[in-house]
A and B are shown apart, each in its own frame.
Chain A
Amino acid sequence: MARSRTRPGLKTLLWLGVILIALTGVLAGGNLAGQASWAPKLALDLEGGTQMILAPKVSGGSQISQEQLDQAVEIIRQRVDGSGVAEAEISTQSGRNVVVSLPGTPSAETRQLIQASADMNFRPVLVAGNPGAVPEDQRAPEEQLPQPTAAPADASDQNWITAEVYRQFEALDCSGALPETTQRSDPAKPLVTCEAGSDIGGPIKYILGPVEVVGTDIAGSTFQLQQGRQGAVTNEWAVNIQFNDAGTEKFKAVTQRLNGFYVADPNDVRAQFAIVLDDKVISAPRSLAVITDGRPQITGSFTEATAKTLSDQLRYGALPISFDIQSEEQISATLGGEQLRMGLLAGGIGLLLVIVYSLFQYRALGFVTIASLVVAGALTYLAIAILGWTENYRLSLAGVAGLIVAIGQTADSFIVYFERIRDELREGRGLVSAVENGWKRAKRTVLASKAVNLLAAVVLYFVAVGNVRGFAFTLGLTAIADLMVVFIFTHPTLQLLARTRFFGEGHRFSGLDPERLGAVPLYRGAGRLRDASEAAKGTLKPKNAAAAREAGRRMTIAERRAAEAQRQSEMSSASGRGGRTSERNEEQN
């Protein structure tokens, strides 16, 4: 057999090396940047913590839209962040549920906070001031504290500010993270609260009057580029609110009063009305005009993103969502670690069993299986670690189960391939061409069967609820890794091995010993030829034109091309095979 100068397979193996190094490089880069870690991120059932699956509930029982769900996630995120819980993760699942994962055991207050429905309303501004708490020594002395002189006449009346409210205002610190509370304020009383800082300005501290318009009075909200006086579009973003009938009446009354303040003094804070969500001010625009049609427009320093956020929040306020806890799981860190150990132990045992079985079945060829599993494992590990960094993917116990189940499915690709090679050897081919021919047939089978696996994994991923999603994810991920390994590792490795003496000459322990496989050489010496029909059976070469047409009819274009190439390669390898077979016969005689 003539050795080709460029060894087939070597180049492909180099590519595999490049891919592995590139993935490792990416992960190493992430590590150096301090964002990634070498170990995959673990889900709560392995790390310990609490996972809650919440079903959003809209008042009135109507179906929840994806948009509302996204808003719900946003709201919960803000609340959880506000409650000071670090590393909380909030995501949606199956387009219906919200999954909240928290480290440790959340306090009763945090739980209530997560479940509570959002509360939006409009209050007039009474006082606005610097965000920081007034230092003790600079606070107003007792006698200078505001004393209400009469019962408040309207919501903007300064008589709402009692000494107690003022003390509260002085003490409140809005410069840091906004404190989160579960107890909603009394809508009939004044409120001391903050507006968070943003790109366009720092935080502001307010005393607000009682609620004048409630969030449910909002019929809708949009945002757009503002239109100038001539109807031309300007570069300014604007948020529109649309009130319902009751809201229109109430808001008209509010703007009549507030606009009065504005006309008297454009800098009077009392001309502002605050939009309050969960007792925090999200915007406090000035009332520049009396709004009689219930369609106010808010303008000023918006970007497209901030306009969208405000508009979303307003719409959300129109339809308060609360949450039902669907399922909740609390696992301590000790038990999480125990589950992880057990999962790894199961994986170790499973891997060992598969290795022993393939060595027993395929002898030295079994080492190719092991090496392929190692490469598949390395690819999967890197992918999971990188996904943990970029996509925040976390490995759960179900995910570990998926990885273990995948050991078998990955090893099976090699079995399909090896059995095809053995079939080719039984047909009497030399190892080099048996590897090539076996691969051509196995390739299609492996592709088709992995397509089924991948399809199942994708479908499972999208319908799985709760933890089992991780199972579908790792199952799909390993199916891809498996395909890569078969194509760029197992096949090229066998191409190389087929040219070694140990395998090429069919050593007893190679697992590819033609004698043990009962190979029937095409030429048996002494003028005996194999039954022609037997020789033709099972080969891809159709016996005659009719059969070729029949076979061709069932083939795709790609397959036809492959068959063409096959015939050519068979012709070129025919001489080599013949020489080899006769050589073997001489040895036997």
Chain B
Amino acid sequence: MSTFFARFGNELYTGKRSYDFVGPHKRLWFAIAGALVLVSILIPVFTGGFNLGIEFRGGSEFRVSQVPDTDPGLGEQAVDAVAPGNAPRVANIAPGTMRIQTDQLTDDETLEVKANLATSYGVGEENVTSSFVGPTWGADVTQQAMIGFVVFVLLAAVLMALYFRTWKMSLSALTGMFVTMVITGGVYAASGFEVTPSAIIGFLTILSYSLYDTVVVFDKIRENTADISTSTRRTYAEEVNLAVNQTLVRSINTMMVAVLPVAAILFIGAGLLGAGTLRDLSLALFVGILIGTAATIFIAAPMYAWLREREPELVKQAERVRSRRTTAAASV
């Protein structure tokens, strides 16, 4: 397998094996991405939006761990005894862990519910955690996330324009990032994963990962196309495609090492701890890393080639390449 990877890498490097990311197929990739983005935007519109966590609704939440019996009825009774008509949502979120969400409770009610839950589930009170979220907290989180998003995109655009010295790379990389983000959002809307402040921070981290991944590939593109104006070996688009292929092994390795630790957190967070910071962060990252890697290869790089190959200078260069090839073919 490792040998296969090495050979795979060699063939990609020399161009013996090549996948078409940038050539005629790019219309297909763009169409697929466009369709996914559209669906991702439409899903929340039709299904009534995202499954927002308690942080956005406001209310009280209790968690009871190490319970021998995960009967939701016990939790409902425990809340009803203190605050009747509250309609608590009780869920078994992990082995032996119950989550009980209610409307906002007063301090005294919270303490009573906590004690009740401990007795009904037959655990010590140290196994019951409580948290309370005010109704305006979610709006606060959303506003901050929006500020963060805008600031990051602006700064990243400037940073990349400075580093690559061309706005076209900057634009392509940011487009790839937007596609990643929208589709990740779509996955959340379609699957009904809970959107919490942790998940939102996960989203924002994806932005960084997506750009990070693109920077490495673009760096190779820049290197390959440095002397394009005097070369008749490959057209610009072909050079870009070669660069993507040459960095393909790296892209796969990068994705793997990024996703493995995240998968470990997801496994622990979702499987053993139940919903919480760990699960929400890692789920967003897990989805986003997979989509982000694909977006670099299928969106950002082809889009950049598309933006550049229409420049008059590069159109002429492509003609030179074609004419050299025809003469070479004729002379053989």
Residues of A at the B interface (CB closer than 8 Å) are 45, 53, 55, 94, 96-97, 108, 111, 324-335, 338-339, 342-343, 345-347, 349-351, 353-354, 357-358, 360-361, 363, 397-398, 401, 404-405, 407-409, 411-412, 415-416, 419, 422-423, 426, 441, 444-445, 448-449, 451-453, 455-457, 459-460, 462-468, 471-472, 475, 516-518, 520, 533, 537-538, 540, 542-544, 546-547, 550-551, 554
Contacts and interface: CB of A to CB of B under 8 A. Distances in A.
Given A342-B278, A455-B156, A335 B129 contact: yes
Contacts of B126: 332-335
Across the A-B interface, give the 8 residue pairs with the lowest CB-CB distance, nearest first.
Answer: A350-B261, A456-B208, A463-B148, A518-B10, A547-B227, A350-B264, A408-B258, A332-B126
A423 B242 CA distance: 13
Contact of A411 (B136, B205, B224, B257): B257
B229 A452 contact: no
B253 interface: yes
Nearest to B9: A422
Interface in B103-142: 107-108, 124-134, 136-137, 140-141
A423 B204 contact: no
14 contacts: A55-B140, A108-B108, A328-B133, A335-B63, A343-B278, A346-B269, A349-B267, A358-B257, A412-B254, A448-B163, A456-B208, A464-B144, A464-B148, A554-B165
B257 A346 contact: no
A542 B257 contact: no
A401 B277 contact: yes
A275 B165 CA distance: 63
A357 B107 CA distance: 50
Given A326-B136, A463-B147, A550-B227, A361 B253 contact: yes
B227 A551 contact: yes
A401 B265 CA distance: 7
Contact of A354 (B145, B261, B276): B261
Contact of A353 (B1, B223, B253, B263): B263
B134 A426 contact: no
A444 to B, nearest CB: 7
Choose among A401, A416, A422 the residue with the greatest number of B CB atoms under 10 Å from its CB.
A401
A452 B230 contact: no
Given A94-B144, A409-B209, 6 more contacts: A347-B261, A404-B262, A448-B215, A452-B156, A460-B205, A546-B229
B194 to A, nearest CB: 15
B129 A463 contact: no
Interface stretch (B24-32, B68-76, B244-252, B301-309): B244-252
Given A441-B223, A463-B151, A542-B226, A416 B250 contact: yes
Nearest to B61: A329
Contacts of A350: 260-265
B264 A460 contact: no
B7 A325 contact: no
B278 A397 contact: yes
A444 B13 CA distance: 20
A550 B226 CA distance: 7
A46 to B, nearest CB: 11
Choose among A97, A415, A422 the residue with the greatest number of B CB atoms under 10 Å from its CB.
A415
B152 A108 contact: no
A535 B249 CA distance: 22
B129 A472 contact: no
A346 B131 CA distance: 24
Contact of A471 (B148, B220, B233, B281): B281
Given A343-B278, A397-B278, A448-B219, A335 B65 contact: yes
B6 A516 contact: yes
A258 to B, nearest CB: 43
Contacts of B65: 335, 338
A464 B253 CA distance: 30
B230 A330 contact: no
B261 A353 contact: yes
Contacts of A451: 159, 163
A426 B10 contact: yes
A312 B265 CA distance: 47
A408 B260 contact: yes
A405 B152 contact: no
B230 A544 contact: yes
Contact of B233 (A452, A467, A537): A537
B197 A465 contact: yes
A55 B136 contact: yes
A326 B219 contact: no
Contacts of B315: none
Contacts of B328: none
A346 B249 CA distance: 27
A377 to B, nearest CB: 13
Contact of B278 (A346, A351, A465): A346
Contacts of B261: 346-347, 350-351, 353-354, 404-405, 407-408
Nearest to B199: A468
Contacts of B129: 329-332, 335
A395 B13 CA distance: 43
Contacts of A540: 223
B285 interface: yes
Contacts of A419: 9, 247, 249-250, 253
B259 interface: yes
Nearest to B147: A463
Contacts of A467: 198, 277
A21 B10 CA distance: 42
Contact of B265 (A405, A445, A455): A405
A443 to B, nearest CB: 11
Contacts of A328: 130-133
A438 to B, nearest CB: 12
Interface string B204-233: 110111011001100110111011111101
A324 B165 contact: no
A331 B197 CA distance: 19
A405 B208 contact: no
Nearest to B125: A332
A459 B14 contact: no
A546 B231 CA distance: 11
B321 interface: no
A327 B250 contact: no
B184 interface: no
B201 A460 contact: yes
B227 A542 contact: yes
Interface string B45-82: 00000000001000000010100000000000000000
A339 B273 contact: yes
Choose among A45, A333, A468 the residue with the greatest number of B CB atoms under 10 Å from its CB.
A468
A380 to B, nearest CB: 14
Nearest to B134: A326
B198 to A, nearest CB: 6
Choose among A342, A448, A518 the residue with the greatest number of B CB atoms under 10 Å from its CB.
A448
Choose among B7, B108, B136, B265 the residue with the greatest number of A CB atoms under 10 Å from its CB.
B265
Contact of A405 (B3, B144, B155, B205): B205
Contacts of B262: 350, 404-405, 408
Contacts of A357: 253, 256-257, 260
B126 to A, nearest CB: 4
